[in-house]
Every structure is written in structure tokens, then in C-alpha cells.
Amino acid sequence: RPVIAIVGRPNVGKSTIFNRIIGDRLAIVEDKPGVTRDRIYGTGEWTGRAFSVIDTGGIEIEGEDSLLRSVRMQAELAIEEADVIIFMVDAKAGITTADEEVARMLFRSKKPIVVAVNKVDNLQRMDDIYEFYGLGFGDPVALSGAHGMGIGDLLDAAVSKLPVIEDEEYDDDIIKVALIGRPNVGKSSLVNAILGEERVIVSEVAGTTRDAIDTPFEKDGQKYVLIDTAGMRKRGKVYETTEKYSVMRAMKAIERADVVLVVINGEEGIIEQDKHIAGYAHENGKAAVFVVNKWDVVEKDDKTMQQFTNTIREHFLFMTYAPVVFLSALTKHRLHRLFPVINHVAEQHALRIPTHVLNDIISDAVAITPPPRDKGRSLRINYATQVGVKPPTILIFVNDPELMHFSYERYLENKIRAAFAFEGTPLRLFTRRKS
Ligand code: GDP
């Protein structure tokens, strides 16, 4: 997905606009120690184009000159990560010194820029925005975040400047595996361990996209691509502080993958950020495997694995379908267990159930526990059919979709999983009216 970043001084209204763009989609907050407070990521869609959004607004630095340094950091980050930058200014404040500084940096970057003039609370009063032509980025767009006005114009302008991203370059029979996880969990070590295995044939020179290193390889007759974001260790001022935490890169790797390996440091356990990123894999319908690395240094007895698995289950309630593999990238102990699991979840992710089998399961489920009545009416399921794979997507035709309750849908999902496992993959159920 292409990326739109929002930059601007504190209090110009960036987060209001960010929230209006993502609507009720999930936002990922990234907490960072030290220099910055947080950065927020989300996804949006406008006129059929999907994109990611970053609100760089959280970046604030303490101390003298902090405002200028903060906006400079934001701008650098946006220039590095974004395809289009929304530069927000405040109609009431006019052009400030900090705005001029950001404008200079953005201008040098040659990235497409849209100037958004916020707080134009009376859109008739366009006089307020003329001065912003002076920033040198063409027509400014007038906004009122408070009234939710002008957002459509802003998105029209931003989306029209997005690059056309080409379709995925890999064949469908290639399993695309992304490794994600915090710095130092051992992603690079795991990549090296995998590619260094005896029966692995690295077929081509690794390809480098803007955000990851792709290594195609073959093992026991199956083709894979490893999408590795950890290998991207660029050097640079801002990179030293921000690159390590590049959630955006992880998000893009997830979007391109079939199977996401959520790498966890067995020595340290689970933190909030692991959840955000795993949640993104779930939302995007990817197969997932938890890989608990550094198992060599964990003190253990015959219960430790089960205990760790329980902890994972408690933290990732929404992903109980994902198997857990314990290994050591360093000693390669238990590494041989990883690929059978990857193959298995990839297969489940692409599994198709014949319609008659699916309907047998659903009628049995309904016979055991009929849908609860709601205001004297009850849900009637006519039939179900699988309409897609990666992830398996099932359409259920009913008399009235409003009568399908979350808990009953969950019950049906569990019944379907009980019959087919679908291990490692999310399932998508949709209801449609048809009597
Ligand atoms: P990345 O930031 O996730 O790519 O992590 P690295 O692969 O750079 O590893 C971070 C540190 O953990 C390095 O010092 C590795 O040697 C160490 N490490 C990685 N895997 C293991 C493991 O399985 N066991 C132990 N003991 N150390 C590991």
C-alpha cells in the first residue's frame, strides 16, 4: 500500500484529520522511549484506493528549540516513509517560522506535497488561505477538522498524487513468508539460520524493495520468498532513532505475505507492540505462526512450553488459531520444526471446502444449538458457500443479516474450525440476505 504522511506543528489538528481519514479502522500506536512520544499508523481508502496513513504528530522533543527539532524529525520521517505528504498548517496562525522550516525540507525532498489549511471554519472565507500559496506547493486545500469539512477535497488531492504500485511479482504457488517482531528478537539470526540450512537452495540474488529484502529460495521442492525487514539497516541521522521501530515497514511486509512469523524473544516475553503488529496480520487475513526464539537460554522444565503457550494465548486472544514454535536461531535447535508448520498453515490458508460439506456442518451446528430468538424473530440460515481463500472467506445466506449475532457467528466459526481446523489462518464469515 502506498503511504500518506501528515506533518505539521503541534496543535494544527493533525490527529483530528488522521482520525477522520481512518474512520473506524484500527490505529497502531507505537510507543518509543527517549526522543519521541508516539507515532500513529492506520489505513484508509478513498475512491477505491487503499493506502496507509502516518500521523507523525506524536514526535515531540524536550528542551530548548524543541518545537523546531520535533517538526524537523517529523518531516524527515515523512520524507523517508511516505509517497505523499500532507503538510498541515493553521489558518488562524498563518505561516510560522516552523512552517517555513518544514516547507524548505519538504521542497528539497521533491515528494508530492498537499498543503492542508486547517481551522478554516467558514469555508466561504477563502481569503484565509491565500497566504499559503506562498509555501510554494500549489493550491492549498481548506479544511475544518472540527466540522469535518474539506476532508474529501484533501483526499482527492492526496490520492491523485499517489504512485501506481505494481501488482505482486510472485507466482501463486510460492509461499511468501514475512518475519516480524521487535528489534533484537532475533529476526536476522533466524533469516540466516533458515537460508543457511542444508537443503535450502537460494535460487536468485535477493531483491531489495524499498522496505524489505526478498529472498526467493526452494526447500524440499517447495518455493518460498522470505520477506525480511530486519535486514534493512540504513544509516542516517533520523534512521538511528526511528528505523529500529519502523512499524510501517512491518505493516508492508505483512501485506505482501501469505504467512507471517511473529517472532518473540523467549527470554523476555510479550509486550504491547508485539500485539499491535500481530493484530495487523490478523486484520489483513494472513496466516500466522508464533516463533518463540532464544529458547536455548530459557530455563525450562517439562511444563515451560505449555506455560509459554498459555501466556501467548492470553495475550493474543484473537489469534488462538496460530500455532507456536519454540526454537533457537543461534544453536538451530528445533529449527527443523519450523517449515512443516509454515507449510501446514499456508495450506490451511488456501484451503477450499466443498459447499455441500460446509452446509452439512452448518446444519449440524444449527441442529445442536439453534440461533437465539431476537424480539420474537429468529435467524434462518439458508446456505453457506466459500467464496475465497487466503484467508478462507465464507458467505452465509440468511433471512435477515441483522439477526446474526456476534456470539452465534463465533459459534459457527468454532464448528467450522472443529471440522476443518484451519490452523494458523483467520476465517472470514459474512452474512447476506437471501430467503
Ligand atoms: P533482530 O533485530 O530481530 O534482527 O535480531 P538479531 O538477529 O540481530 O539478534 C539480536 C541478538 O540476539 C543478537 O545478539 C543475536 O546473536 C541474539 N540471538 C538471536 N537469536 C538467538 C537465539 O536463538 N539464542 C540466543 N541466545 N541469542 C540469539
Same domain, 66 and 8: yes
Angle between helix 14-22 and helix 151-160 axes, rounded to 10 deg: 80
- Going from the C-alpha of 222 to that of each of 119, 176, 253, 287, 422, the distances in angstroms are 56, 11, 21, 17, 20
The SS3 assignment for 142 reads strand
Query: Are residue 226 and residue 139 in the same domain, yes or no?
Result: no
Among 140-144, 156-160, 204-208, which stretch is predicted with the lowest mean pLDDT? 204-208
The set of cell numbers assigned to 189 is 539470526
Q: Which of 102, 131, 160 is the last residue of a domain?
A: 160
- How close is the Cα of 151 to the center of ligand 1, in Å? 45
Contacts of 244 (CB under 8 A, 6+ apart): 183
Answer yes or no: is 166 within a domain: no
Q: Is residue 422 in some structural domain? A: yes
- Which atom number of ligand 1 is nearest to the Cα of residue 244? 2
Residue 153 and residue 181 share a domain: no
Q: Are residues 243 and 329 in the same domain?
A: yes
Residue 375 domain boundaries: 355-433
Does residue 232 sit in the same domain as residue 85?
Answer: no
Annotated binding site for GTP: 8-15, 55-59, 118-121, 181-188, 228-232, 293-296
Q: What is the pLDDT of residues 30-50, one digit of tens each?
A: 555 444 445 678 888 888 788
Query: Which cell numbers hold the place of 155?
Result: 483526499
Among 179, 187, 189, say which to mutate for ligand 1: greatest number of ligand atoms within 8 Å of CB.
189
CB 415 within 8 A of CB 365: yes
Q: For ligand 1, atom 15, name the residue with the nearest CA.
A: 186
Nearest residue (by CA) to ligand 1, atom 24, is 294
Q: What is the distance between the alpha carbons of residues 381 and 404, in angstroms, rounded to a whole number?
A: 9
Choosing from 349, 364, 381, the residue where a domain stops is 349
Residue 210 lies in a domain: yes
Q: Please give the sequence-ordered ranges of beta strands (E in DSSP) within 83-233, or none if there are none.
A: 84-90, 113-118, 141-142, 175-180, 200-202, 207-208, 213-219, 222-228
Annotated binding site: which residue ranges? 8-15, 55-59, 118-121, 181-188, 228-232, 293-296
In the reported structure, the alpha carbon of residue 185 is separated from the centroid of ligand 1 by a whole-number distance in angstroms of: 6
pLDDT tens figures, 383-398: 999 988 999 999 999 9
Residue 145 lies in a domain: yes
Let me know whether 119 and 239 are in one domain.
no
- pLDDT higher than 60, residue 430: yes
- The domain that holds 372 is classified in CATH as 3.30.300.20
Indicate the SS3 state at residue 31.
strand
DSSP state string for 388-424: ETTTTEEEEEES-GGG--HHHHHHHHHHHHHHH--TT
| Ligand 1 cavity residues, CB under 6 Å | 181, 183-189, 230, 293-294, 296-297, 328-330
Q: Is the pLDDT of residue 224 over 90?
A: yes
In a domain, 167, yes or no: no
Q: Return the ligand 1 atom nearest residue 293 CA.
A: 23
Average pLDDT over residues 102-106: 89
Same domain? 72 vs 9:
yes
Residues 113 and 78 in one domain: yes
90 Cα–ligand 1 center, Å? 46
143 and 220 inside one domain: no
53/154 same-domain check: yes
- Protein residue closest via CA to atom 18 of ligand 1: 186
Over residues 354-369, mean pLDDT: 95
Question: How many whole angstroms from 267 Cα to the centroid of ligand 1?
Answer: 11
148 and 17 belong to one structural domain? yes
- Is 288 within a domain? yes
Atom of ligand 1 lying closest to residue 192 CA: 7
Q: Where are the alpha helices (DSSP H) in 288-421?
A: 304-315, 338-349, 355-368, 406-420
Residue 278's H or E segment, with its range, is helix 272-283
Question: pLDDT-derived band of residue 101, with 50, 70 and 90 as boundaries?
Answer: confident
Q: Which CATH number characterizes residue 58's domain? A: 3.40.50.300
**Nearest atom of ligand 1 to the alpha carbon of 230:** 4
CA of 183 to the centre of ligand 1 (A): 9
- With respect to residue 169, please indicate whether it lies within any of the assigned structural domains: no
Domain final position from 329, 349, 369: 349
In a domain, 170, yes or no: no
What's this model's pTM, rounded to 2 decimal places? 0.72
For the segment 244-264, the average pLDDT, to the nearest whole number, is 84
Q: What is the ipTM of this complex?
A: 0.92
Is the Cβ–Cβ distance between 332 and 372 less than 8 Å?
A: no
Between the CA of 7 and the centroid of ligand 1 the distance, in Å, is 35
Q: Is 234 exposed, middle or buried (0-12, 13-18, 19+ CB in 10 A)?
A: exposed
CA 322 vs. chain centroid, Å, equals: 17
Q: What is the mean pLDDT of the chain?
A: 85
Number of domains in the chain: 3
- Cα 337 to middle of ligand 1, angstroms: 19
Same domain for 115 and 227, yes or no, is no
Atom of ligand 1 nearest to the CA of 183: 2
